Amino acid sequence: MAALAAAGKVDLAFIRAQAPIILAAAPLTIFISIVSISIAVVFAVLGSLGRISRSAPIYALATLYVSLVRGTPLIVQILFVYLALPQFGIVLPALQTGILALAFNYGAYMTEIFRAGIQAVPRGQLDAAHALGMTDRDTLRRIVLPQALRIVTPAIGNEFIAMIKDSALVSIVGVQEMLFFARIIGSQKFRSFETFMIAALVYWILTMTFSFFQEALERRLAESDRRI
Amino acid sequence: MSAQSGGRLAVDPVHASGSGPIVRLIGLEKYYGTNHVLRGCLLEVMPRETICVLGRSGSGKTTLLKCINFLEEPTVGSVEVDGIRVEANPLHPRSREHAEKIRQIRLRAQMLFQEFNLFPHMRVIDNVIEAPMRVRHLARAEAVEVGEKYLAKVGLLEQRDEFPARLSGGQKQRVAIARALAMEPKVLLFDEPTSALDPSLVGEVLNVMEELAHEGTTMIVVTHEMDFAREAADRVLFMEEGVFIEEGPPEQVLDSPKNPLTQVFLERFLTEGRIRRTRPGEEAPAPLPPPIGHTV
């Protein structure tokens, strides 16, 4: 970087001036990611219950959801929500569009993760809960889902990291998050190298910070597994 | 749907609770596909009675137990526990009423598993109070009181805040017993409770079970522990190919069995010390082996 600056290829003064504007958009990126992943978890729990349901229509619906969403590009889904749904009278602002599309998309991927997690809970756990007289609902809520959640935590963490990065895609519908500013400022001033470097660095720091918390969380969840 | 088989079947459907049997199985049959695992079991267990069910692996003992609390739905027959009677109805989805009756039976007939099945994400005390709170709707403080009482009974009050992963197998099974007792059931069903244990840990579990038996807890115990059967059982039943082929006081069944199949089983048991251990899931779906002459 220093060498590039010395050669006059990188404008450090420009970085100093513009970085705060791009950085100021970082909270929105974090906000979009957190809200989207939270809604995606709800989609995923419902989707996974559908995927293990004995009711054929529910199973079919959940399977269609996963297949459809995983079979189409995320950017198409974002544009579809923003530009195609208005034809049916559904007009969502850019931010809501982005969050809905991200949550819907990640919900489908995480559906399969949750399904695998639920099915990884041993059969004996269900037998024990039923034998104690617990209802199906309590068994699911108190016995199966907590254990499934622990099984899927590492995978969900990876999804969250991917979500932080994919949240950049919502800039295409005009959500003013980090990439939006990096793109606008960079092209206005013909300094895209600098602005994209800043944005990339922030994404990297965000994902590394999150990885750190993820490891801490996994350690905490593993407490009940520790023997000593 | 209650086809009844066997002899003494014209049982009085109503019985004064307290004087009659607490568990009554009538013409219980179970098919897995074409595999006829239970072939018309009749069993009446009186309050305070401890019965042991012996038999080879694959003879249907575990299936019998699981049919009592409907972890497996019997194909034919009826189960009555503490006056609550449920007819087998495997071909239809469970109605609300049917499911509720099954739940009522489960509350009264608590099962102990070969693999303990403690909830690994909950501390010992939470394992014990979960069902009293959710199912019996006790307040937390009350449930904790009940839970601690039974943990003390099995000698594990000090471990109340441990996670199951930190307990030995014997301790786990004792916690499972406390968990079942905290539901204050009418009868305990034991499915080979010591089969998954290291031999050195079997004793502590059997001691607790013997104490329960001597206190008058009604128990149906599927086991290969002959000493326990001799010491604690009021009655021993020997099962073969899905039916009881011999029944009587332990001395009689264990020392001078009448049925040749029982004789063969016990002889082999004495010479080999211990018969082959049943793995979970193995007993049920495996096709029935030929009657005799098969062990390992």
Alpha-carbon distances of B189 from A97, B53, B54, B241, rounded to whole Å: 56, 11, 14, 20
Give the lowest-confidence range in A213-222, B48-57, B145-154, B201-210: A213-222
> Does a structural domain hold residue A1?
no
Best mutation target among B63, B105, B112, B119 (most A Cβ atoms within 10 Å) is B119
> Does a structural domain hold residue A5?
no
| Sheet with B50-55, edge to edge strand ranges | B109-112, B187-191, B219-222, B50-55, B235-240, B243-248
**A161-188: pLDDT as tens digits:** 999 999 999 888 888 888 888 888 888 8
Is the pLDDT reported for residue B275 higher than 60? no
Predicted pLDDT at A1? 67
**Is some CB atom of chain A closer than 8 A to the CB atom of B32?**
no
Enumerate residues 6+ apart whose C-beta is below 8 A from B50. Answer: B213, B217, B218, B219, B221, B232, B233, B234, B235
Instruction: Inspect the interface and report whether the beta carbons of A224 and B120 lie closer than 8 Å.
Output: yes
In contact, B168 and B191? CB cutoff 8 Å: no
**Is some CB atom of chain B closer than 8 A to the CB atom of A227?**
yes
Q: A75: exposed, middle or buried (C-beta count within 10 Å: 0-12, 13-18, 19+)?
A: middle
Tell how many helices (H) and how many strands (E) occur in chain B: 9, 10
Alpha-carbon distances of B220 from A27, A33, B37, B110, B177, rounded to whole Å: 63, 55, 19, 10, 14
Residues from chain B that touch A132, judged by Cβ atoms under 8 A, are: 106, 110, 130-131, 135, 179-180, 183
Is the pLDDT reported for residue B273 higher than 90? no
**A82-104: pLDDT as tens digits:** 999 999 988 899 999 999 999 99
Over residues A190-197, mean pLDDT:
88
Alpha-carbon distances of A111 from A46, A49, B59, B250, rounded to whole Å: 8, 9, 41, 55
How close B190 gets to chain A, by Cα (Å)? 12
**Which residue from A minimizes the CA distance to B167?**
A227
H-run or E-run covering A36: helix A26-51
Over residues A197-216, mean pLDDT:
90
Bigger pLDDT: B195 or B91?
B195
**Which residue from B minimizes the CA distance to A224?**
B163
> Does a structural domain hold residue A2?
no
Mean pLDDT, all residues of chain B: 86
CA-based nearest residue to B202, from B271, B137, B114: B114
Over residues A109-120, mean pLDDT:
95
If DSSP codes are grouped into helix, strand and coil, which group holds residue A19? Answer: helix
**B217-245: pLDDT as tens digits:** 999 999 999 999 999 999 999 999 999 99
Is the pLDDT reported for residue B7 higher than 70? no
Give the lowest-confidence range in A71-80, B28-37, B243-252, B268-277: B268-277
| Sheet with B76-81, edge to edge strand ranges | B35-45, B23-32, B76-81, B84-87
Q: What percent of chain A has pLDDT over 70?
A: 98
> Does a structural domain hold residue A75?
yes
Is the pLDDT reported for residue A5 higher than 80? no
Predicted pLDDT at A187? 86
Instruction: Inspect the interface and report whether the beta carbons of B69 and A150 lie closer than 8 Å.
Output: no
> Does a structural domain hold residue A4?
no
Predicted pLDDT at A107? 96
Enumerate residues 6+ apart whose C-beta is below 8 A from A176. Answer: A25, A28
Q: What percent of chain A has pLDDT over 90?
A: 60
> Does a structural domain hold residue A42?
yes
The two tokens of residue A73 are: 């590009």
Is the pLDDT reported for residue A49 higher than 70? yes
Over residues B168-177, mean pLDDT:
97
Q: How many domains does chain A have?
A: 1
Mean pLDDT, all residues of chain A: 90
Is the pLDDT reported for residue B290 higher than 60? no
If DSSP codes are grouped into helix, strand and coil, which group holds residue B237? Answer: strand
Q: Which domain holds residue A62?
A: 11-227
Instruction: Inspect the interface and report whether the beta carbons of A226 and B165 lie closer than 8 Å.
Output: yes
Give the lowest-confidence range in A94-98, B205-209, B275-279: B275-279
Residue B2: pLDDT band (50, 70, 90) is very low
The domain that contains A123 carries what CATH number?
1.10.3720.10
CA-based nearest residue to A182, from A194, A167, A166: A194
> Does a structural domain hold residue A6?
no
Enumerate residues 6+ apart whose C-beta is below 8 A from B217. Answer: B48, B50, B188
Is the pLDDT reported for residue B112 higher than 60? yes
Bigger pLDDT: B108 or B95?
B108
Predicted pLDDT at B77? 93
> Does a structural domain hold residue A219?
yes
**B115-141: pLDDT as tens digits:** 999 999 999 999 999 999 999 999 999
Is the pLDDT reported for residue B18 higher than 80? no
Over residues B84-113, mean pLDDT:
89
Residue B1: pLDDT band (50, 70, 90) is very low
A and B: number of Cβ contacts within 8 A: 70
In contact, B119 and A130? CB cutoff 8 Å: no
